[in-house]
Amino acid sequence: MNFSADTVTPKSANTPVYIPTKEVLSLVRGIRHPKHDRATVEMIFDDGYLNLAELLVKPGFDEKTSDLLEDPRLSNVIRDLVALVGGRYRENNDGGFGFQPGQYEERAQATTDGGEAKSRAQIAKAYQDSTETRFVSTDVEGFPTGMTAEGYRKIGVLHRLLCNGSINPGNTGTLLWDEPESNLNPKLMKKLVQVLLELSRNGQQIILATHDYVLLKWLDLLMDEGKEDHIRFHAIYQDPDTQKMSVESADSYALISKTAISDTFAELFDEDMARALEVTNT
């Protein structure tokens, strides 16, 4: 992808969306600042960072309401991502981002009934027809992106890309995510995997690169063949005899015979068991 002196070339619908290991929300202001020399910026950040920065400020992010919240494919995903971190990230006037604590809630729209009497069922139906889902901020004041955990910012990147249409399952290119687990609180891992599976079920192709056993096992445990989940696992390793790189692939993580990840966790488990047995025998 080539970059002009002013901006990044717009992405086509078939172009992949790449999320690097390091979060980018806190870097957007510096990357896009008009007073920063573009040539220097391009020497510091590769194309993946520059392109993602442009996608994150793409217009269309919901400020009050969003059609996405009524989209059965994405409504739960959008809510879940905000619930995971307790808020959302919004672009500030200075070109950076800030974190706004809050959550999505259903609220009634202003309606009139013309003074006619209605049964309880009618009132309930009228309420249902006249509600909208809105982001409601809490009483806690927002704060700069840099004051939030890096793992939260990575969740925020996915949320923004979905809200502005940069990721639209079935319509946009492949999502490439390098080490989603990096700096992510382990307790968020299961929910993130559930979100990724839900996106996949709605037509989003996703390719992940990971060194994390927890992420791999949640993918293995949560995939549901009844929902037509299909996950292909690939292990890339160096053959100890030939020193050549090899690839082993399978539809189940359990069928991958050997990886550095599984070996490391097996060693850790063995050491833990050995210590437990030593304590028991003393």
Q: List, for residues 177-208, the tens digit of each pLDDT value.
A: 999 999 999 999 999 999 999 999 999 999 99
- Among the listed residues 6, 52, 55, the one whose alpha carbon sits nearest the alpha carbon of residue 165: 55
- Among the listed residues 124, 132, 86, 85, the one whose alpha carbon sits nearest the alpha carbon of residue 106: 132
Residues in Cβ contact with 90 at an 8 Å cutoff, skipping those fewer than 6 apart: 61, 63, 97, 98, 100, 142
CA–CA dist 243, 237 (Å, integer): 9
Percent above pLDDT 70 for the chain: 82
How many other C-beta atoms are found inside a 10 Å radius of the C-beta of residue 96?
19
Judge whether residue 267 has pLDDT over 80.
Answer: yes
**Lowest-pLDDT choice from 10-14, 20-24, 186-190, 242-246:** 10-14
Going along the chain from its start, the domains and CATH numbers come out as 17-99+140-231 (3.40.50)
**Lowest-pLDDT choice from 40-44, 49-53, 230-234, 276-280:** 276-280
CA–CA dist 35, 37 (Å, integer): 6
